[in-house]
């Protein structure tokens, strides 16, 4: 019934988020590799790959880590999943700077594109290859990006919302960080899709913050202040189940439609109960795996390019495939 577009990197990656402007393919011959790393590659010693995630405490992080651990086992490397607790740009910068002398490659999902781009450039200039994954830094000197096309996934979400509302309704967008580039990109896609539907009005974007109780309270307060909202479109993993839980607790299933992102256990259950109508998978485990794999391929002399990890659309009709 509804499309399911999946690009999964093999069995076991169902727990498997964001491609921006494509860079030209790059090869190690175009990059001034640090001598210590070149010697290590030539000797065949295991490479130290650091995979920095923007908030290791959020509910999305364990799935990314799963992919990193899979790469560690399968690719004969020492792949480490690192990152700040909480979306702390200074903490992410400090940790990477501390580990700079130990890393042979860096994959980064940045807390802030503005704050982390100068660091990415310094790491590149030190002869250490850097790719971005999940969230991109297209204005930095990073080599390539692995992840989901954020704007397009936003369009997909907007189109699904228009479908479940039958082209009529008042929609609230929710996000845990309205100022983050990933959120802005995804919201752009949502609005592009919904602006094409005459019968749908986007009434607001609600910035919920990251604390689970605060997310739920923000959604509850917004719905109480505007009971005419008929659709909640959540841009990420954490406000999606909160929106579904509000609908369920308040007996609004079928009256208020929910479209969101990711396959957290609570979200999967709410989709199965048709409380959430659509959730979009970002393949986080695949992103973690490919972040390591691209760096390994690059260091071993292969040409690499941006990698789109695709979109998986799940509804009550096909959600059992994610269970």
CATH code (residue 136): 3.40.50.2300
pLDDT of res. 245: 98
Does residue 250 fall inside a structural domain?
yes
Same-domain status, 180 and 273? yes
Same-domain status, 183 and 106? no
Q: Which of 245, 262, 281 is the last residue of a domain?
A: 281
Is residue 98 pLDDT above 90, yes or no?
yes
Q: How many domains does the chain have?
A: 2
Same-domain status, 197 and 166? yes
- The mean-pLDDT minimum among 27-31, 165-169, 293-297 falls in 27-31
Does residue 18 fall inside a structural domain?
no
Average model confidence (pLDDT) for the chain?
A: 91
Distance in angstroms (rounded) separating the CA atoms of residues 283 and 206: 25
Does residue 10 fall inside a structural domain?
no
Residues of the domain holding 256: 150-281
Same-domain status, 250 and 137? no
Does residue 167 fall inside a structural domain?
yes
Does residue 245 fall inside a structural domain?
yes
Beta strands in 53-185 (DSSP E): 78-82, 105-108, 130-133, 145-147, 169-175
Does residue 53 fall inside a structural domain?
yes
Q: What is the reported pTM?
A: 0.85
Same-domain status, 90 and 197? no
Distance in angstroms (rounded) separating the CA atoms of residues 304 and 136: 16
- The mean-pLDDT minimum among 8-17, 194-203, 260-269 falls in 8-17
> Judging by DSSP bridges, how do beta strands 200-207 and 169-175 pair with one another?
parallel
Is residue 157 pLDDT above 90, yes or no?
yes
Tens-digit pLDDT profile for residues 28-57: 678 999 999 999 999 999 999 999 999 999
């Amino acid at each position: 019934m509804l499309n399911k577009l999946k690009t999964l990197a093999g069995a076991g990656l169902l727990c498997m988020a964001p491609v921006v402007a494509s860079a030209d393919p790059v090869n190690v011959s175009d990059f001034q590799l640090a001598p210590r790393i070149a010697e290590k590659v030539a000797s065949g010693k295991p490479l130290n790959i650091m995979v920095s995630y923007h908030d290791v405490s959020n509910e999305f992080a364990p799935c990314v880590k799963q992919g990193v651990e899979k790469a560690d086992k399968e690719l004969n490397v020492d792949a480490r999943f690192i990152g700040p607790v909480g979306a702390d740009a200074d903490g992410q910068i400090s940790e990477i700077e501390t580990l700079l002398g130990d890393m042979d490659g860096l994959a980064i999902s940045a807390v802030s594109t503005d704050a982390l781009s100068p660091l990415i450039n310094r790491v590149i200039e030190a002869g250490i290859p850097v790719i971005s994954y999940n969230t991109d830094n297209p204005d930095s000197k990073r080599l390539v990006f692995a992840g989901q096309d954020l704007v397009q996934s936003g369009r997909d979400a907007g189109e699904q919302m228009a479908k479940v509302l039958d082209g009529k309704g008042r929609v609230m967008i929710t996000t845990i960080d309205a100022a983050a580039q990933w959120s802005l990109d995804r919201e752009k896609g949502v609005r592009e899709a919904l602006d094409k539907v005459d019968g749908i009005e986007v009434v607001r974007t609600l910035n919920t913050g990251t604390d689970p109780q605060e997310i739920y309270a923000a959604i509850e307060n917004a719905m109480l202040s505007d009971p005419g909202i008929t659709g909640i479109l959540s841009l990420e993993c954490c406000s999606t189940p909160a929106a579904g839980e509000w609908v369920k607790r308040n007996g609004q299933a079928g009256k208020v439609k929910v479209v969101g992102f990711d396959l957290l256990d609570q979200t999967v259950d709410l989709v199965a109960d048709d409380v959430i109508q659509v959730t979009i998978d970002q393949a986080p485990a695949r992103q973690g795996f490919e972040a390591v794999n691209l760096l390994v391929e690059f260091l071993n002399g292969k040409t690499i390019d941006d990698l789109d990890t695709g979109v998986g659309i799940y509804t009550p009709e096909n959600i059992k495939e994610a269970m």
